[in-house]
């Protein structure tokens, strides 16, 4: 995908996005353009989407986010196709080792019960959690992905996390590279809190905007995340922890991620 550039003037609003009028995390109105990125080289790019992404910064909480989120029509275009490596069962042997290290860490805090993976992609995390004795359940916004997981015998639904009505039903909810895709991540955390049992945990991963690895990519003008089509947010560890605590989660474990470049992983316990 294309590398980003520093913004001078923000491009005109595009009909594929609904613009934020305040910070999507803290609701402060003082937001300004930070820079732009080009998403036209992304494998899922469709011409209905504006090729230029405008990134904003909140003066109050310093969160970095796009100027808007996709309309329902734009989402339908994007979700009509999937990267081959995100098809259920793709590269299952290689992914099993990475997933095993994640499940092993989560199992230090919760040892059994229903594991809901939101945006499960190739399904590796659920397949591996089942080896530990968890009952796997999947949720994804792509109909073909949900159908593919069901074909492998795993309970899966095409639905938004916030629409589930199953209070206290799950022991673990994994949001692996999910919160940065949500227009309002706080709504996802409210839903996760409601769906978890009292001693449940969430597992979350995403790029870490505030680390040396990120800054080195920027310095080399080689940071792919400024042009990441489906991302609306760039989280720092500090901002993520503050958001988790706001919605009654206690971060209990942090590490760097093996899943994608320059990413972090956090386990947080439901309060």
Average pLDDT of every residue of the chain? 94
Over residues 227-233, mean pLDDT: 97
Q: Is 10 a residue whose pLDDT tops 70?
A: no
Residue-level pLDDT at 83: 81
Tens of pLDDT, residues 253-269: 999 999 999 999 999 99
* Domains, the chain, ordered by start: 84-207+235-270 (3.40.50.150)
Kindly state the DSSP code that residue 228 receives in the 8-state scheme: -
Closest CA to 265 of 175, 161, 186: 175
Average pLDDT of the residues in 178-190: 98
132: left (phi over 0), alpha (psi -120 to 50) or beta: alpha
* Cα-Cα-Cα-Cα dihedral sign, residues 148, 151, 152, 156: positive
Residue 220 to residues 112, 184, 223, 230, 236, Cα–Cα distance (Å): 44, 31, 8, 23, 20
State the pLDDT at residue 13.
Answer: 57
- Band of pLDDT at residue 146, cut at 50, 70 and 90: very high
pLDDT of residue 8: 46
Mean of the pLDDT values across residues 105-118?
98
**CA gap 38, 53 in Å, rounded:** 6
Q: Report residue 66's pLDDT band, with 50, 70 and 90 as the boundaries.
A: very high
Q: What is the pLDDT of residue 2?
A: 42
Longest Cα pair distance anywhere in the chain, in angstroms?
53
Alpha helices (runs of H) in 26-164, residue ranges in sequence order: 72-78, 92-106, 124-131, 143-151
Q: What is the pLDDT of residue 82?
A: 82
Q: What pLDDT is recorded for position 226?
A: 98
Q: Specify the pLDDT at position 233.
A: 98
Distance set, CA 250 to CA 108, 200, 245, 257 (Å): 15, 11, 6, 19
Distance, in Å, from the CA atom of 117 to the CA atom of 138, rounded to the nearest integer, reads 5
SS3 for 147? helix
């Amino acid at each position: 995908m294309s590398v980003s550039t520093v913004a001078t003037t923000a491009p005109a609003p595009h009909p594929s996005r609904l613009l934020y009028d305040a910070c999507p995390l803290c609701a402060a109105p003082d937001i300004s353009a930070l820079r732009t990125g080009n998403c036209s080289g992304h494998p899922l790019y469709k011409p209905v989407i504006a090729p230029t992404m405008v990134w904003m910064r909140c003066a109050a909480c310093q969160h970095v986010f796009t100027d808007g989120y996709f309309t329902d029509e734009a989402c339908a275009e994007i979700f009509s196709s999937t990267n081959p490596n995100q098809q259920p069962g793709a590269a299952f042997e290689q992914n099993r080792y990475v997933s095993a290290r994640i499940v092993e860490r989560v199992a230090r805090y919760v040892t059994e019960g229903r594991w809901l993976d939101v945006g499960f992609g190739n399904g590796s995390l659920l397949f591996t959690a089942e080896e530990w004795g968890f009952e796997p359940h999947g949720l994804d916004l792509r109909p073909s992905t949900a159908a593919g997981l069901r074909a492998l015998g795993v309970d899966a639904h095409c639905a938004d996390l916030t629409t589930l009505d199953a209070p206290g039903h799950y022991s673990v909810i994994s949001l692996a590279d999910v919160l940065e895709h949500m227009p309002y991540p706080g709504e996802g955390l409210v839903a996760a809190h409601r769906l978890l049992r009292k001693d449940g945990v969430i597992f979350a991963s995403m790029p870490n905007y505030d680390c040396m690895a990120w800054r080195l990519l920027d310095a080399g003008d080689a940071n792919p995340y400024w042009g990441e089509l489906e991302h609306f947010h760039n989280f720092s560890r500090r901002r993520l922890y503050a958001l988790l605590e706001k919605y009654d989660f206690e971060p209990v474990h942090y590490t760097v991620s093996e899943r994608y470049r320059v990413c972090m992983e956090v386990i947080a316990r439901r309060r």
